[in-house]
Structure 1
Amino acid sequence: MTIDARDPLSLAQWWAETLGWRVTDPVPGGVEVQEPDGSAPSLFFVAVDDRKSAKNRLHLDLYAGDQGATLDDLLARGASRVSAGQPDEAEWTVLADPEGNEFCLLEPR
């Protein structure tokens, strides 16, 4: 999955820490984040000049055994809460990464 970013290296590092993955060696076209064993699809961050201006059409869902502790950690590291039309009683939390890309935090199913 390719993600536009104003600062690809910084955003790649944020997502690598969030997912417990690793940042590969940056290349001129961008920065890749992979699962340590390389078994999952990767995230590839590419540089763009413009800021994100609309809701993502695709987002990641993250599952956390301790949703509250994970939420606190993500907020402390620069994530922010987002209202995307979810109901007040939603069992998930909608967040945005430091560059505004939305994702959801859920308890495991």
Structure 2
Amino acid sequence: MTLQWQHVIVHSADPVALGQWWAEALDWVVVHSSEEEFTIRAEPDRLPGLEFIRLDEAKKAKSRLHLDFVPDDQDAEVARLEALGAKRVDIGQGDQSWIVMADPEGNEFCVLGRRGQQTAP
């Protein structure tokens, strides 16, 4: 049996707004949009993607799954994401080389150091 990874599912109070935010943050394309779900991918036919699905329940705790990103320039990327509405967050990570951030709905993600200089947390 062969499995193909299709999406990472993100529950969201407003899947369209959050999906649009991530599409802009990642420079990805929208492949599906409705009031209940919103899907983006790096390219229209490239998997995996991110699928935002409406869930009318607020986030209650630290995310059990998060995404790590490796930028060319960590400081510039963090500043760009903050300008889009992301916030730096403290989840108890201490003093690390990566920066923990949260999207507009509070989902954590990490911006690692430059490519080739960092291992994932």
Q: Taking structure 2 as the reference length, what is the TM-score of the superposition?
A: 0.83
Residue aligning to 1:36: 43
Number of residue pairs matched by the alignment: 108
Structure number with bigger Rg: 2
In structure 1, how many angstroms separate the alpha carbons of the residues matched to 2:84 and 2:12? Answer: 17
Which residue identity does 2:52 align to in structure 1? F
Which aligned pairs between 1:1-80 and structure 2 lie closer than 5 A?
1-27=8-34, 29-80=36-87
Which residue identity does 1:102 align to in structure 2? E
Residue aligning to 1:102: 108
In structure 2, how many angstroms separate the alpha carbons of the residues matched to 1:85 and 1:108? Answer: 24
Structure 1 residues without counterparts, runs of 5 or longer: none
Q: CA-atom RMSD, angstroms? A: 1.3
In structure 2, how many angstroms separate the alpha carbons of the residues matched to 1:28 and 1:86? Answer: 35
Q: Taking structure 1 as the reference length, what is the TM-score of the superposition?
A: 0.91
* Percent sequence identity over aligned pairs: 44
Displacement over 6 Å in runs of 4+: none
Matched position secondary structure for 1:61: strand
Write out per-residue CA displacement over residues 33-85 of structure 1, whole angstroms, 9 at most, x where no aligned residue: 11115323011001111211111111000111011111011111110111112
